[in-house]
Structure 1
Amino acid sequence: MLKLFLLPLFVRCESADHYWTAGNCFVQNELYWAYLIIFFCGLRNSEIGRLEIKNIILDGGVYFFDLGTKPRRTQRTLGRHSTKGKSKAAARRVPISPLLIDLGLIERAEALKIAGKQRLFPEWKDFKNKKSGRDMPGHHLSKSWQYVKKKFEFVGDELTIYGGRHTRAQWYKEIDLAEIIKRKILGHAQMDVHAVYGANVLTVAEAKLALKTLPIEQQIAGILIHAKLRAEYKELIALPTW
């Protein structure tokens, strides 16, 4: 896992276009954030590709990605609510790791909002299925994942398309997070077929339980924060991405 987050994109890359080659630049582009979101939040590739500024909310001191739940009076948003999900279970609130906040995700969202943008990642490459014409919002990340796996010689199942979500699920298991909370976050249907829609919405208390961190997460955080600080201290050249 550390191998992935020691790659040039996350520590020091050549340029905004050549972010998988080592250099003296710091680039927080859409793929930088996408890899962090899939591992630290557990969103699906397609959900990341569709994220909009309005999907970020603050509730009870915790930031969430709100993926289609009904607005609550206690929530403060960076925009209006709505998103598409692949099922009722997919409509949920996912806690955003404090690491992503420390790395500047909220500042990105606020700057984009001021610029009149809607998407959280306006630089995201959109693909359509050549035969059906169907939108493939997660393909940009999937393509990148396959490139990284080959270029940096990740073997076997070290890096699979959904490896980030599987890793996130395993980390939840290691902190003894209750299965019902894990299912809410990952967008899995609850085992109780009689569970009502509202019961699938994660509470602030549940979110705080899910935000406990493991040593491996702390190690990754150290790598990423160090790179960001180097950019802030002008040791690396911070480049815009949108």
Structure 2
Amino acid sequence: MADMSKTLHLIVRKGVYYYKRRVPSFAQEAFGGGMYQVSLETRSLKEAEGKRALQDIMFHARVDAARANEQPTPAPTSAETGILEAEVRARVREFVMMRDAKANDEFVSDYTEQERGDAIENIEIEIQNLATTDDPFGQELISRAYPTATGLTQPHPRAADLVQRALIEIRNRKLDRIHHGYARPYFDPAFGPVLEHQTTFKQVADLYLKYDADEAEANNRRRHTSEKKAALVATVIEMIGGDTRVDAISFDTVKGFQLTLDRLPANRNKLFPGKSIDQAIELARKANKARLSYLSQYDYASQLRLILDLAVKKRIISHNFANDLKPLKADTVSDGDRRKPFSPDQIRQLFSGAFYLHCATLPVPYRGDTNGGWRFWLPLIMLFAGMRPNEVCQLRLADFKATKNGVQYIDVTSEESGDNADQLAQKSVKTRNSIRKVPVHPVLIKMGLLELVEDRRKAGDLQLFPTLAPKAYGNYATYPARRFNERFLPDAMELAEDQALYSLRHSFRDALRQIDAPNDTLRALGGWADHSETSSDYGDRTNPDYQSKWIDQVSYPGVDLTKLYPKSPKSTVL
């Protein structure tokens, strides 16, 4: 190897030597820029070489001081470490290929002997600098190449070492071309034609869940949603194999996953706790248990697709074989039939049952509800406001409001409101689309809903149904929904398959369609799709003043509820 270049970091301007070098990015603020330059006040190269050593010491002292003041980088998780290292390897390999291709295009075969000798000397010096630990010039080359080569802006375990090897590899290939002309395709095995990724499927899946958790926290998403996704991913990991290398997942792997998914029993963990997937499938077959529904299979397939999508984005694999994965058996249920609404006859049966017949005999019918009001009001509010069970059960008195034009409405929101909001559990809505303002239907007003709200306020209550408390995941409707689905509804009517308390909400949607309500009304009142932020301006399609004309028309032919209207002023509250 040749000795260090005599003019390293030295430049001449008007006959005077200057010390000049690039400043690492983290130290540029301390130096006041990206380039450090100072006059050595001499015209002698020999004297400049002597002064250069002192400048090197001073320069590195300032760099070290700047490095010491850097903010510490949070330690990566085990999942992040595995994924990032795989991604860095892929990026650095591509960096070598691109730089090598560029050098190949620029290579001049008809060098003069002097040009060839100069090129060889410069490359050998750079290789020596790069290979020497703590060599300032080599460290500068690595620092400059690091962001481009790795795609990172912060230090990462072993990434700088890989960049160092990459830069040496590029220069060795240059030397090889000059000396022999493509005698060796590569020098470092890390940049050979085959580099197997050791990243496992579980590592990618764990990172996928971490990103999802970060997003959930940032958007205040319900914990239940994240836990459901984590349960889906756990099953997918079990089916694929957590230790399976991601780059070993083939088309056949995905087809095997699809076939297993088709045979997987519904409620597997509940029916066959502690059993493996294969054992559960065999036990379910012998017991003739139902298999996963099309939608459940689709949820699992989607998680596999999204996990492998992340692996593609991280450049661990080049192709996602689950990109168009669907359940093996085609879906035979249309979207319109997936959740069945109640028919007018079923609705009539519900409100003609023993409970409502008893209530109808009282001067104030809803006073017949000894459960604190929810037994009487929950199905009625769902039927005439299209609200979800939990949206009804968690209602606060502060959610009942009126517009400037006097239209009474229910503010369906996750926001806390009122002076005593901090005394109550956190409200929630299913999605951002669920935030809306629903006018109070005339039937609910005639039944005394607003009088009940006022009496609750006078009694010092905060909730419409003060006997209800949040259960798992903050859901107020857990117990009421179970009582309706397991007893109240079956006692009042004959239920068809896929019918439950939630069917009342779909009956509301059908009632809107029967009066030819526009799609933006369905969105604004039911929260079934994306819509813009609710505006307070009169005439806005999401404003209660506008939507009240549609709410007022919602009706159910043959269903007479006048018997549930109060017959005399009430004297006490529920």
| Interval of TM-score (by shorter of Structure 1 and Structure 2) | 0.7 to 0.9
Query: What is the CA–CA distance in structure 2 between the aligned matches of 1:150 and 1:127, rounded to whole Å?
Result: 25
What residue in structure 1 maps to residue 484 of structure 2?
Answer: 145
**What is the CA distance between 1:69 and its match in structure 2?**
8.7
**What is the CA distance between 1:208 and its match in structure 2?**
1.6
Could you list the per-position Cα deviations for residues 107-139 of structure 1 after superposition, in whole angstroms to 9, with x for gaps in the alignment? Answer: 111111111110011123x3523xxxx222121
The 8 Å contact of residues 49 and 121 in structure 1, kept in 2 or not, is answered as yes
**What is the CA distance between 1:11 and its match in structure 2?**
2.6
**What is the CA distance between 1:189 and its match in structure 2?**
1.9
What residue identity is the alignment partner of 2:482? Answer: K
**What is the CA distance between 1:67 and its match in structure 2?**
1.6
Q: How does 1:193-212 map to 2 (within 5 A)?
A: 196-198=532-534, 201-212=542-553
What residue in structure 2 maps to residue 61 of structure 1?
Answer: 406
Q: How does 1:156-171 map to 2 (within 5 A)?
A: 156-157=496-497, 159-171=499-511
What residue in structure 2 maps to residue 44 of structure 1?
Answer: 388
What residue identity is the alignment partner of 1:101? Answer: I
Distance 1:198 1:239, change over 3 A: closer
Aligned residue for 1:84, secondary structure, equals coil
Distance 1:214 1:49, change over 3 A: closer
**What is the CA distance between 1:80 and its match in structure 2?**
8.9
Distance 1:55 1:96, change over 3 A: same
Bigger relative contact order (CA 8 A; separation at least 6)? 1
What residue in structure 2 maps to residue 184 of structure 1?
Answer: 524
Could you list the per-position Cα deviations for residues 141-180 of structure 1 after superposition, in whole angstroms to 9, with x for gaps in the alignment? Answer: 3122221233335231485131110000000000111111
Structure 2: gaps (5+ residues): 1-346, 536-540
Q: Does 1:11 align with 2:357?
A: yes
What residue in structure 1 maps to residue 475 of structure 2?
Answer: 136
Aligned residue for 2:516, secondary structure, equals coil
What residue identity is the alignment partner of 1:122? Answer: P
What residue identity is the alignment partner of 2:395? Answer: L
What residue identity is the alignment partner of 1:211? Answer: D
Distance 1:221 1:25, change over 3 A: closer
Query: What is the CA–CA distance in structure 1 between the aligned matches of 2:496 and 2:402, rounded to whole Å?
Result: 39
Aligned residue for 2:432, secondary structure, equals coil
**What is the CA distance between 1:211 and its match in structure 2?**
1.7
Query: What is the CA–CA distance in structure 1 between the aligned matches of 2:496 and 2:490, rounded to whole Å?
Result: 11
Distance 1:105 1:25, change over 3 A: closer
**Which of 86, 91, 105 is the matching residue for 2:430?**
86
**What is the CA distance between 1:209 and its match in structure 2?**
2.4
**What is the CA distance between 1:188 and its match in structure 2?**
1.7
Structure 1: gaps (5+ residues): 15-23, 71-76
Query: What is the CA–CA distance in structure 2 between the aligned matches of 1:239 and 1:151, rounded to whole Å?
Result: 31
Distance 1:32 1:239, change over 3 A: farther
The 8 Å contact of residues 436 and 525 in structure 2, kept in 1 or not, is answered as yes
Distance 1:30 1:36, change over 3 A: same
**What is the CA distance between 1:95 and its match in structure 2?**
1.4
Could you list the per-position Cα deviations for residues 27-47 of structure 1 after superposition, in whole angstroms to 9, with x for gaps in the alignment? Answer: 152221111101111110111
Query: What is the CA–CA distance in structure 1 between the aligned matches of 2:348 and 2:456, rounded to whole Å?
Result: 30
Alpha-carbon RMSD: 3.4
What residue identity is the alignment partner of 2:408? Answer: Y
**What is the CA distance between 1:206 and its match in structure 2?**
2.2
Query: What is the CA–CA distance in structure 2 between the aligned matches of 1:155 and 1:31, rounded to whole Å?
Result: 19
Query: What is the CA–CA distance in structure 2 between the aligned matches of 1:84 and 1:53, rounded to whole Å?
Result: 16
The 8 Å contact of residues 57 and 64 in structure 1, kept in 2 or not, is answered as yes
Q: Does 1:101 align with 2:445?
A: yes
What residue identity is the alignment partner of 1:118? Answer: L
What residue in structure 2 maps to residue 21 of structure 1?
Answer: none
Q: How many residues align?
A: 211
Aligned residue for 1:216, secondary structure, equals coil
What residue in structure 2 maps to residue 214 of structure 1?
Answer: 555
Could you list the per-position Cα deviations for residues 1-40 of structure 1 after superposition, in whole angstroms to 9, with x for gaps in the alignment? Answer: 10001123323159xxxxxxxxx99515222111110111
Distance 1:206 1:155, change over 3 A: closer
The 8 Å contact of residues 436 and 534 in structure 2, kept in 1 or not, is answered as no
Distance 1:66 1:127, change over 3 A: closer
Query: What is the CA–CA distance in structure 2 between the aligned matches of 1:128 and 1:137, rounded to whole Å?
Result: 6
What residue identity is the alignment partner of 2:477? Answer: G
Aligned residue for 2:457, secondary structure, equals helix
Query: What is the CA–CA distance in structure 2 between the aligned matches of 1:205 and 1:91, rounded to whole Å?
Result: 17
- Which structure shows the higher helix fraction? 2
Q: Structure 2 length normalisation: TM-score?
A: 0.33
**Which structure has the bigger radius of gyration?**
2
**What is the CA distance between 1:202 and its match in structure 2?**
2.9
Aligned residue for 1:150, secondary structure, equals helix
Query: What is the CA–CA distance in structure 1 between the aligned matches of 2:474 and 2:366, rounded to whole Å?
Result: 33
Query: What is the CA–CA distance in structure 2 between the aligned matches of 1:57 and 1:79, rounded to whole Å?
Result: 15
Runs of 4+ in 1 over 6 A off after TM superposition: 77-82
